[in-house]
C-alpha cells in the first residue's frame, strides 16, 4: 500500500473477510436452486450472485478513479457482465478475480488518499474516498446477508459462523 496506510490496510482486511464469507456462502448454494427466489418481485439466487459481482466491481471502479494512471488493466473489468444470472462457479471465480484487482488497487492507497474527494454517480461534486469505500462495503455486506437469508429460506443449515469470521 501507499505511504502511511494503517487505515487503508484495516479497511482492505475487512473487505477481504467479507469476500471470503461471501465465497463460503456461495459454496453452500444448492445447484438446483439458482432460479429460486423468495417472492415474485425479488432477485433469483443467480441474480443475487450477479449483483454481488457488481458490488465488487464498484470497488474496482472507485479505486480506478483515484489511480487510473497506475491501474490501466482495470479498464478491462468494465467489459465483464454484472447484474446477470450467474452460476456458482462463475461467481466464485469472478469474486476471486475482483478481490485480486481490489488488492492491487489498495496497494496504491494511502491513508491520506482516503480523505481525497472522488466524484460519483450519486454525488458528482465528490465524496471522500473513505466514504465511497465504506458505502461500497455496506452494500456488499447487505447483499452477502441477503444470500445468507436466502440460504436459510432454502433450508440450508447456515449459522452465524457462516456469516461472520468468528475470532
DSSP secondary structure string, the chain? --SS-HHHHHHHHHHHHHHHHHHHHHHTS-GGGTT--SSTTS--HHHHHHHHHHHHHHHHHHHHHH-TTT-GGGGGGGGS--SS---HHHHHHHHHHHHHHHHHHHTT--TTGGGSEE--SS-TT-EEHHHHHHHHHHHHHHHHHHHHHHHHHTT----HHHHS---
Cell digits for 129?
A: 474516498
Alpha carbon distance 72, 105 (integer Å): 11
pLDDT of residue 2: 43
Q: What CATH superfamily classification does 6-163 receive?
A: dinb family like domain (1.20.120.450)
pLDDT of residue 25: 98
Domain parsing of the chain, residue ranges: 6-163
Alpha carbon distance 113, 63 (integer Å): 10
Cell digits for 125?
A: 461534486
Alpha carbon distance 98, 128 (integer Å): 22
Q: What is the value of pTM for the model shown?
A: 0.94
Tens digit of pLDDT per residue, the chain (167 long)? 445 889 999 999 999 999 999 999 999 999 999 999 999 999 999 999 999 999 999 999 999 999 999 999 999 999 999 999 999 999 999 999 999 999 999 999 999 999 999 988 888 899 999 999 999 999 999 999 999 999 999 999 999 999 998 87
Short-list 80, 48, 45, 43, CA closest to 61: 80
pLDDT of residue 3: 54
Amino acid at each position: 500500500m501507499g505511504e502511511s496506510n494503517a487505515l487503508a490496510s484495516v479497511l482492505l482486511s475487512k473487505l477481504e473477510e467479507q469476500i471470503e464469507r461471501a465465497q463460503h456462502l456461495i459454496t453452500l448454494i444448492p445447484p438446483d436452486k439458482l432460479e429460486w427466489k423468495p417472492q415474485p418481485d425479488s432477485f433469483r439466487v443467480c441474480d443475487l450472485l450477479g449483483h454481488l459481482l457488481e458490488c465488487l466491481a464498484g470497488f474496482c471502479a472507485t479505486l480506478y478513479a483515484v489511480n487510473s494512471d497506475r491501474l490501466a488493466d482495470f479498464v478491462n473489468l468494465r467489459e465483464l457482465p454484472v447484474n446477470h444470472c450467474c452460476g456458482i462457479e462463475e461467481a466464485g471465480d469472478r469474486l476471486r478475480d475482483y478481490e485480486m484487482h481490489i488488492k492491487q488497487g489498495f496497494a496504491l492507497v494511502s491513508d491520506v488518499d482516503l480523505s481525497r474527494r472522488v466524484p460519483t454517480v450519486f454525488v458528482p461534486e465528490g465524496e471522500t474516498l473513505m466514504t465511497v469505500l465504506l458505502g461500497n462495503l455496506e452494500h456488499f455486506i447487505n447483499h452477502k446477508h441477503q444470500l445468507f437469508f436466502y440460504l436459510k429460506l432454502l433450508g440450508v443449515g447456515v449459522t452465524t459462523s457462516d456469516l461472520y469470521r468468528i475470532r
